[in-house]
Amino acid sequence: MLMLVFLIYLPTAIAQKKNLSPKIQFDYALNLKVDFKQREAILKKNGEEPDVYEKALSFISGSVHAADITDIVEIGTTKYQINSTGTLNSTLNFALQGQKLIRQSSGIVTKNGLATLNYNEKRGNTGLLQAKVNTKTRQVVFESDSTQVGAESLNGNLLDLLSVMYNLIGHNISSKQSTYYVTDSKSLKRYTLNKAELWDFPFNGEKVKAFRYFKSTTNDDHTTLEIWLTEKENIPLRMVVGLGERYGATIQVDLKKIPVIFAN
């Protein structure tokens, strides 16, 4: 249930200014706001039982620092890989017995950004979920513990819940609106992100210039997404995901410290 999104199509060219460091570490605090009674009502209406994670959420009241996340980002000239580890805190850690969220994204680097070829995630003792691009058939194939459970056609490059955060890092971007395809390891969706106002974003007691990007909602998809990227280098400072009435939860991920992203 953690963290959220996408494929990139940009109407304007992107120019990278400098070479990125071969390995960059990003550390985040994840805060979770849950209205479990709302989720419980939906489950009851649909005749469903809460899973082990949803039962753990019943212990949460209001907003809580739920996890710490470390992303190791390696973006080369032709390939990239992102490894992410989420470690639960406090009540969730006790309720779920120290389980972790492990995610990995890998693929190629194009002139327009990143293109996912493989994305997988494993939540604690649950099965391994994987989305893989079949370049011959132009499909995204979904697997659960190496068993295919579905496939969807892909009309372009792909991003995922990890690569969307870092797709534009180190680049300048002038587009006011961008369309993305994203996989969460279980499905494929199309999103439109709108570039909004420039903020004096409060960060560790200072003000950092950052643009806010927000996702357009549709009748079929009520989830919300906001992401703040630094003005010049597109470093992700915050991402907020509203999972909608069905889940009654909001996830906010905040960067703890801005890392050095360019090689010396």
pLDDT tens digits, one per residue of 64-121? 888 899 999 999 999 999 999 998 876 555 445 567 889 999 999 988 789 999 999 9
154 φ/ψ angles, rounded to the nearest 5 degrees: -125, 120
Q: Over the range 25-47, which residues count as b (16 or more CB within 10 Å of their CB) and which as e?
A: ebebebbbbbbbeebeeebeeee
Work out the angle at residue 176's Cα, subtended by the Cα atoms of residues 171 and 182, and round it to the nearest 5 degrees: 70
For residue 30, what are the β-bridge partners? 67, 253
Q: Can you say whether the dihedral through the CA atoms of 131, 154, 82, 29 is positive or negative?
A: negative
This prediction's pTM: 0.83
Q: Which amino acid is at 121?
A: E
* HSE toward the beta carbon, residue 50, CA cutoff 13 A: 18
For residue 173, the model assigns a pLDDT of: 66
